[in-house]
Amino acid sequence: MTAILEFESVSKTYIKKRQSIEALKSVSFSIEEGEVFGFVGPNGAGKSTTIKILLDIISDYDGDVRLFGRSARQASSRRHVAYLPEAAALYEQFTPVDILKTALRMYGIKRIDELDWCMYWLERFSVAGNAKRKIRQLSKGNVQRVALAHAMVVEPKLLVLDEPLSGLDPVGRKNVVDILQEYKQQGGAIFFTSHVLHDVERIADRFGFINQGRLLTTQSPRDLMAEHAKEFLVRYQSDAITEGQAVRPGEYEVQVSQQDLPEWLGRLNGEQGQLLEVKPLVSLEAVFFKMLEQHG
C-alpha cells in the first residue's frame, strides 16, 4: 500500500493576545490508497487546523506533512487532491454546470465530453434538474450536492471533506455515502471530518480521535468499539444450542456479556456449532463521549 497522506510529529501554535495556544501537539498519522479516514473531535480540537496544514493554507508549523510522497508545501503535491469545506463557497451567479466546468479548467483537465461528464456527476448527486439554475436559487442541501459533484468531477485520488453531509436530508446522506463507498472501492482515499458519527461507522476504515490538539487514538471503529463494549451480539448456527432469537431455521442471535463470551464461544465450538458473527453492542457515539470524558 502507498501512503497518500502522512503527518509526522506535526505541531502548530497560535499566538493570540500574547498567549500561546497549542492547536496541534505532535500529531502523527497516515492514510493509504483506498482508505477512508474519519477525523473526529469536539469543536476546537484541531480538526480545521489539520486540514489547513495539509492544504498549505497554514505553512508555519513544526513537523512534516507529505502528499503522495511530496512535501505538502509544494503546490504540485495537491494536483490530485479535491477539497470540500463545511460551508461551500460557490459563485452564486454561476449555474451548477458552470461550477463543474470551472473546476475542470482549474485542474487543467480537458475532456471532449465535458458537458456530458459534468451532467453525469450532477445526476449522481441528484441535482441535474437544477443544472441551469443559479446557485443562489438553490437550497442549502442542493448547494452541498453541487459542491460534492464539484469535488468528484476532477477525479481526485484524495478527497478532503469537512462535514460533507452537512445540510443533507437522510436520503441525500445515503446517496452521498453510497458514492463515497464506490469511490473508495475504486482506490480513492478520503480524509473527512463529521459530527454525524453514525456515518463515520458506516464508511470509515479507521478514524482518529483528536481532543485539545492531541491525537488520542487511530483505530478502526470496530476495534475501538470492541475495546469498550460490555455486551456482544453473537450470530451462529447450531442444532444443539438454540439460545436467543431465531433469525431463520437453525440460525440464531444471542446477546452475551464480555465476561461470558469466551465460555459461550467454547460451548458453541464443543457442540460443533458454526460462529457467523460477533458484533460489539456499543455505538461510536457512546465511545466518543466516554473518551471525551476521560481526556477532557
Task: Establish if 234 belongs to a structural domain.
Answer: yes
- pLDDT of 53-96, one tens digit each? 999 999 999 999 999 999 999 999 999 999 998 877 888 899 99
Residue 71 and residue 165 in one domain: yes
Residue 285 placed within a domain? no
Are 192 and 101 in a shared domain? no
Termini Cα distance of the chain: 35
Residue-level pLDDT at 102:
94
pLDDT digits (tens, 9 = 90+) for 21-51: 899 999 999 999 999 999 988 888 899 999 9
Whether residue 101 sits in one domain with residue 74 = no
Same domain, 43 and 100: no
CB distance 197 to 288 below 8 Å: yes
Q: Would you say the C-alpha torsion 46, 180, 182, 102 has a positive or negative sign?
A: negative
**Residue 284 has what pLDDT?**
72
Is residue 287 assigned to a domain? no
The pTM of this model reads 0.81
Q: What is the pLDDT of residue 147?
A: 93
22 grid coordinates: 497549542
Give the containing element (helix H, strand E) for 62. strand 62-67
32 domain-assigned: yes
Regarding whether 244 and 214 lie in a shared domain, the answer is no
Task: Look at residue 167 and tell me whether its pLDDT is greater than 70.
Answer: yes
- Of 124, 155, 186, the one marking the end of a domain is 155
134 and 103 belong to one structural domain: yes
Which of the four pLDDT bands, split at 50, 70 and 90, describes residue 296? Answer: low
Examine the domain organization and report whether 100 and 125 are in the same domain: yes
Are 36 and 139 contained in the same domain?
no
According to the model, what pLDDT value does residue 241 have?
85
CA angle 57, 203, 29 (to 5 degrees): 45
Count the domains in the chain: 3
Q: Considering only CA atoms, which of 87, 221, 86, 78 is closest in space to residue 158?
A: 78
Domain assignment present for 224: no
CB 11 within 8 A of CB 60: no
Q: Which of 120, 155, 190 is the last residue of a domain?
A: 155
7 and 36, same domain (yes or no): yes
Average pLDDT estimate for 246-255: 88
Q: Is the Cβ–Cβ distance between 284 and 201 less than 8 Å?
A: yes
Same domain, 31 and 146: no
Look at residues 99, 122, 155 and tell me which one is the last residue of a structural domain: 155
**How many other C-beta atoms lie within 10 A of the C-beta of residue 271?**
12
Of 47, 44, 70, 71, the C-alpha closest to 59 is 71
Top-confidence residue, 59 or 229: 59
- As beta bridge partners, residue 256 has 232
* Residue 160 CA from chain centroid, whole number: 9
**Would 296 be classed as within a structural domain?**
no
- State what percent of residues in the chain have pLDDT above 70: 98
Give how far Cα 79 sits from Cα of 53, 71, 83, 86, 157, Å. Answer: 16, 12, 11, 21, 9
Q: Is residue 1 part of a domain?
A: yes
Is 143 inside any structural domain? yes
Same domain membership, residue 75 and residue 105: no
Residue 9 and residue 76 in one domain: yes
- pLDDT at residue 13 above 90? yes
**Structural domain of residue 206, as residue ranges?**
1-80+157-171+178-219
Which strand ranges, in their side-by-side order, compose the sheet holding 81-84?
Answer: 81-84, 158-162, 189-193, 36-40, 206-211, 214-219
pLDDT band at residue 278, thresholds of 50, 70 and 90?
confident
